[in-house]
Amino acid sequence: MRIRLLLATALLLTGCSTATPVAPSFNGPTTTCTYTVTGDPARAVDPPNGTAVPTVGVATFVLKMSAG
């Protein structure tokens, strides 16, 4: 029973959190990607930039909790 209560509390607190994006910075090897159109999109989209795509890195983020 105690484990269920802890799990439910953890899930509730997770729902009350927001992630704040941090601008990425890369200082390593890169590659070039090619995006091939293979059909019609449901809406107009621009493909991602395929130049200077990092091949290694670390994702950093700040998690702000509104409760707890």
pLDDT tens for 19-34 read 666 666 667 788 998 8
Q: Which of 58, 52, 57, 56 is nearest to 31 (CA)?
A: 52
pLDDT at site 11: 60
Half-sphere exposure for 58 (CA within 13 Å, toward CB): 3
pTM metric for this prediction: 0.39
Element (H, E) at 13: helix 2-15
**Is the predicted pLDDT of residue 51 greater than 80, yes or no?**
yes
Higher pLDDT, 8 or 55: 55
Where along the chain do its domains lie? Answer: 1-20+60-68
